[in-house]
């Protein structure tokens, strides 16, 4: 299917991901975790690239944008890029609480 096709470089920049928060009543919400710091990893084959900065969001954010430019080199025509998000809840004292993950494909 992909005969005589050369590998190519793929450049992604300003990745924006929509966020969907579970609706909660702030008066009943017991946690003080309203602020988060997020970074992402892009994986394709053996290549792994991370965002350079932690992006701040809170529970009022509609989306998250990573302003980085990511370049994946020498990808085959049937490449797959996985985007993994890692985030930590930050309390009012600036201390990290937990680090769950999400993967987009």
Q: Over the stretch 68-95, which tens digit does the pLDDT of each residue have?
A: 999 999 999 999 999 999 888 876 666 6
Helix (H) or strand (E) holding 98: none
Query: In the predicted model, what is the mean pLDDT of residues 42-63?
Result: 90
Task: Answer yes or no: are the C-beta atoms of 94 and 49 closer than 8 Å.
Answer: no
Per residue in 63-74, pLDDT (tens digit) is: 999 999 999 999
More confident residue, 60 or 11: 11
pLDDT at residue 100 greater than cutoff 90: no
pLDDT at residue 40 greater than cutoff 70: yes
Per residue in 14-33, pLDDT (tens digit) is: 999 998 877 666 555 555 56
| Distance, first Cα to last Cα, the chain | 23
Residue 87 CB neighbours (<10 A): 20
pLDDT at residue 5 greater than cutoff 90: no
pLDDT at residue 2 greater than cutoff 80: no
With CA atoms as reference, report the closest residue to 39 among 51, 48, 28, 31: 51
With CA atoms as reference, report the closest residue to 16 among 54, 57, 63: 63
Beta bridge partners of 70: 12
Query: Dihedrals φ, ψ of 22, to 5°?
Result: -70, 130
């Amino acid at each position: 299917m992909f005969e005589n096709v050369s590998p190519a470089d793929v450049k992604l920049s300003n990745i924006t991901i929509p966020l969907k928060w579970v609706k909660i009543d702030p008066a009943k919400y017991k946690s003080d975790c309203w602020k988060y710091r997020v970074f992402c990893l892009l994986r394709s084959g053996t290549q792994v690239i991370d965002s350079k900065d932690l992006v701040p969001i809170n529970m009022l954010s509609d989306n998250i944008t990573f302003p980085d430019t990511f370049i994946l080199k020498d990808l085959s025509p049937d490449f797959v890029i996985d985007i993994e998000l890692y985030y930590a809840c930050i309390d009012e004292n600036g201390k990290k609480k937990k680090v769950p993950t999400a993967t987009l494909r």
